[in-house]
Amino acid sequence: MPTPDAVCILIPTYNEAETIADVVSDYRDEGFTNVLVIDGESTDGTRELAEDAGAHVVVQSGSGKGQAVREAVEDHVTAEYVLMLDGDGTYEATDATKMLDPLTEGYDHVIGDRFADMRSGAMTRLNRVGNRIINRAFAFIHGQDFRDILSGYRAFTRESFLDMTLTSDGFGIETEMAVECAKRDIKTTVVPTTYYPRPDGSDTNLDPIRDGGIIFLELYRRAKTNNPLFYFGSVGFASTATGVGLALYVAYEWVVRSVSHEVIAVVSMAGILFGVQLLMFGVLSDLILSLHREQMKRIEELE
């Protein structure tokens, strides 16, 4: 494991007064004195409690977890390694060692798998199902199985984080980081961690429907540069299938009832043409991406 003075414990917070003092104290008890809390202008005394527990507190200039994490790492973290977690008391401080160990073994990014030891009540059935669907969608779209891409427990080198292109301001930051790891071949591993339910009186800032939709859109949007065949092909397939369905309907009406649907026929043809063009564009884009990756790999081998 890296020495504690080479690690920054990064905790983005917003109204976590019920738990933040215990979280900071737990990591300081594990030997980590560099604890950075970046706060989204909490109104419940989170900042004061974090400072009293021994953390260095910074108020973020914008809003949202993603913006807070980017600002913290880019402007306030100087340590070589970062251990990022939520301030809600759901993660185990004693897991810090196994989260950080892989960083000294050649890995650049570590994801804590909450499903390895999820305690009763830690996640609702809806959230559990949603997480499973998102993780399978990620594996299908981006070709990597990180098991728990929405985990907020992350360890990474500051250098690898700065190599990522991250734009999300909200809870999509974890998804973006996972996509960037897959896209840029950042050496990533997954370790089992314990996940606890939020303590009584601690309310979640996550909306499962709204934020789940944002995450799915982020997965799809990021496929444009990491899996263009899926990105363009999915829309192309849907358009082609719709056009073929309309064409079959027009043909049935013409043969059985001798009724013509000229407008629907035109729409059907347009849908088929548009879909086929998108499919062809997806195949060409995928070929270009494959050639680009091969070329970059050869350049890296020469360096």
Q: Domain map of the chain by residue range?
A: 4-226, 228-301
- Predicted TM-score (pTM) of the model is 0.82
Confidence of residue 221 (pLDDT cuts 50, 70, 90): confident
**Can you give the pLDDT at residue 205?**
63
**Can you give the pLDDT at residue 271?**
93
Q: Phi-psi bin for 36: left (phi > 0), alpha (psi -120 to 50), beta?
A: beta
Per-residue pLDDT tens for 11-39? 999 999 999 999 999 999 999 999 999 99
Q: Which residue do the tokens 């690690």 mark?
A: 7
Q: Which CATH superfamily is domain 4-226 in?
A: Spore Coat Polysaccharide Biosynthesis Protein SpsA; Chain A (3.90.550.10)
- pLDDT > 90 fraction of the chain, expressed in percent and rounded: 66
Per-residue pLDDT tens for 251-283? 998 888 888 888 898 999 999 999 999 999 888
Q: Is there a contact between 177 and 166 (Cβ–Cβ < 8 Å)?
A: yes
Average pLDDT in the chain = 90
**Residue 290: pLDDT above 80?**
no
Higher pLDDT, 80 or 142: 80
Q: Is there a contact between 59 and 32 (Cβ–Cβ < 8 Å)?
A: no
C-alpha pair distances (Å), 262 with each of 102, 238, 298 = 64, 22, 54
**Residue 103: pLDDT above 70?**
yes
Mean pLDDT of 130-157: 93
How many Cβ atoms are within 10 Å of 259's Cβ, its own excluded?
10
In the sheet that holds 56-59, the strands lie side by side as: 56-59, 35-39, 7-13, 81-84, 154-157, 109-118, 188-195
**Can you give the pLDDT at residue 274?**
94
**Residue 206: pLDDT above 70?**
no
**Can you give the pLDDT at residue 303?**
63
Higher pLDDT, 172 or 238: 238
Q: Which residue do the tokens 């009584």 mark?
A: 200
Mean pLDDT of 128-149: 92
Per-residue pLDDT tens for 145-202? 999 999 999 999 999 999 998 988 887 899 999 999 998 889 999 999 999 998 875 6
Mean pLDDT of 98-107: 96
Confidence of residue 293 (pLDDT cuts 50, 70, 90): low
**Residue 101: pLDDT above 60?**
yes
SS3 222: helix
Distance of CA 118 to the CA centre of its chain: 19
- β-partners of residue 38 are 12, 58
Mean pLDDT of 235-254: 92
**Can you give the pLDDT at residue 203?**
62
**Can you give the pLDDT at residue 126?**
87
